[in-house]
Amino acid sequence: MLDLLLRFQAMDRRWVFLGMAISIVVPMLLPFNLPFKVDGRVQDLYDRVEALEAGDAVYISADFDPGSRPELEPFFRTHLHHLFRKDVRVVMGTLWPTAPPLVKPILEEIAGEYDKEYGRDWTFLGYIDGRELAIKSLGQSVRKTYPLDDRGNKTADLPVMLGLDAIRDFDILTSVSAGFPGTQAYVLQIQGQYNLEMASACTAVSAPDYIPYYQSGQLFGLSGGMPGSAQYEKLVYADTPEENRPRLAATSGMNVLSVGHMYIIVLLFLGNLAFFLTRGGKED
């Protein structure tokens, strides 16, 4: 037994890689569906968005790039569906240079599905550099930070911006954040200063880091990684019949994630088992 384990450990690590690949691909080819619960952080996020009224305004900071797409794009898409379904005005900008070609087409596509008009119901303001400085500037005035939208129109002239200038004029600020600059920078720079109602969807890596902000009320909701996205999908599409739903990427990913996690846990366990069994004999 121990021998086998040790031989296992001594083998080329590429076999472990192969095992990982198999535990991802197999559940993908043979899909199964296990139910999961929604945690309080995502529920709070959903409830607050649900409480919005038609005509309210939401600022989305879409700070992610293709590198974290599987974690955040499902949330992002579902959030847009949710907002447009509630007839909310959507204004979006980004602090990541590689984000616009990814996020703008998605916004355009989903706005199109709801027959929303550019400039009146939604707008994309484009990319702004300057990290914390840009965030501070958004706190003072969105119109000044983005004098022109992505299509070259004057931001101040857009009907969607009526009555909106500083970021606290928006009812909600959502930060879809894959790292820096993102949620943390927003929380530090302007959330406290203007007492903003802010929610965040972040990658799993940053989720434990942002939980204190949720606990302290700096964020009213938090969706972490693929499970967060899947839970949000579950809430938003609860009443939508199966055939009308778009593909729920995070929900279908959850089962694959299950198998992947189990694989890692088993590896951790076996590795440590070998460690403890050999430690007694090898002490010198």
Partner 1 sequence: MRAFALRALGLLVLLLALLVCGVVAAQPASDDDSAASDDDSASDDDSAASDDDSAGDDDSAPSKDIASTESAEVDAVTGEAEAAEEGGAVRSEQWFGSADTEEGVPWGYFTLLLLILTTGGLMLYFTKQAQAGKEMFIRRMPGIDAIEDGIGRATEMGKPVLYVPGIDDLQDIQTIASMLILGQVSKTIAEYQCELIVSCCVPIVREVADEVVRAGFYQAGYPDAFRPEEIRFIAADQFAFCAGTNGIMLREKPATNIYLGRFFAESLILAETGYLNRSIQIAGTAEATQLPFFVAACDYTLIGEELFAVSAYLSRDPRLVSSLKASDYLKVAIVTALLVGTILASFGNTLMVDLFSLTLPGN
Partner 2 sequence: MKRTLPILITFVIGVIMVGEFFIPHWRYRALTGELLEWGIILTAGAFILGLVNLIQVHLPTVVERGTDWGYKAVLLVSLAVTLAMGFSNGKQRLDSGMEVSFSYKWIFDYVYVPLSATMFALLAFYIASAGFRAFRARNAEATLLLVAAALVMFASVPIGEGVPVIGEYLVALKDWTLDVPNNAARRAIFIGAALGAISTGLRVILGLERSHLGGD
Partner 3 sequence: MDLLTITGIWISIFLTLAILSFLYDDNPIYKFAEHLFMGVGIGIGTIEIYYGVFQPKLLRPLLEEHRLLSLFPLLLLVLLFAKVTRKHQDWARIPIAFIVAAFAGVKLTGEANGRLVEQVRASMPDLQTLYETNGWWDWDNGGAGVISGLVLVLGLCACLLHFYFSTPHNKPMRAISRIGILTLMLSFGASFGFTVMGRISLAIGRAEALLGLDQPNSLIKLGSMEVHRMTATRWTTVGTMLLVILSIAWLKRRAANSAEAD
Under the phi-then-psi rule, with left for phi > 0, alpha for psi from -120 to 50, and beta for the rest, what region is 137? alpha
Instruction: Indicate the residue among 56 and 252 with the shorter CB distance to partner 1.
Output: 56
Which positions from 182 through 201 interact with partner 2, judged by CB under 8 A?
A: 193
- Residue 83 token pair: 């907002």
Residues forming beta bridges with residue 202, ordered by sequence position: 177, 224
Instruction: Indicate the residue among 31 and 281 with the shorter CB distance to partner 1.
Output: 281
159 binds partner 1 (CB under 8 A): no
**Which residue of 60, 83, 160, 207 would you call a contact of partner 3, by CB under 8 A?**
207
Sequence letter at residue 217: G
Which positions from 15 through 54 interact with partner 2, judged by CB under 8 A?
A: 16-17, 19-21, 24, 34-37, 39
**Which residue of 133, 154, 157, 162 would you call a contact of partner 2, by CB under 8 A?**
133
Work out the burial of residue 275: count CB atoms within 10 Å of its CB; fewer than 13 is exposed, 13-18 middle, 19 or more buried.
Answer: exposed
**Which residue of 7, 105, 120, 195 would you call a contact of partner 1, by CB under 8 A?**
195
188 binds partner 3 (CB under 8 A): yes
**Cα 220 from Cα 192, distance rounded (Å):** 13
Nearest to 209 by CA among 182, 173, 184: 184
Which region, judged by CB under 8 A, interacts with partner 1, from 24-32, 205-213, 225-233, 236-244? 205-213
Nearest to 226 by CA among 247, 200, 257: 257
Instruction: Indicate the residue among 100 and 221 with the shorter CB distance to partner 3.
Output: 100
Residue ranges of alpha helices (H) inside the chain are: 2-10, 13-29, 40-50, 69-85, 100-113, 131-140, 142-145, 183-186, 192-194, 207-215, 225-236, 249-282
Work out the burial of residue 265: count CB atoms within 10 Å of its CB; fewer than 13 is exposed, 13-18 middle, 19 or more buried.
Answer: exposed
Partner in contact with 162, chosen from partner 3, partner 2, partner 1, none, beta carbon below 5 to 8 Å by kind? partner 1
Upstream peptide bond of 101 is cis (omega within 30 degrees of 0)? no
Residues forming beta bridges with residue 58, ordered by sequence position: 90, 172
Nearest to 190 by CA among 140, 251, 238, 253: 140
101 binds partner 2 (CB under 8 A): yes
141 binds partner 1 (CB under 8 A): yes
Contact positions toward partner 1, by CB under 8 A? 141, 143, 156, 161-166, 168-169, 192-195, 205-206, 209
Contact positions toward partner 2, by CB under 8 A? 9, 13, 16-17, 19-21, 24, 34-37, 39, 65-70, 97-98, 100-102, 104-105, 108-109, 128-131, 133-134, 136-137, 140-141, 144-145, 150-152, 193, 208-209, 211-212, 215, 227, 254-255, 257-265, 267-272, 275-276
Contact positions toward partner 3, by CB under 8 A? 14, 17, 20-21, 24-25, 28-29, 40, 67-71, 97-98, 100-101, 126-133, 136, 146-148, 150, 185, 187-189, 191-193, 203-205, 207-209, 212-213, 215-218, 224-227, 247, 249, 252-253, 256-257, 260-261, 264
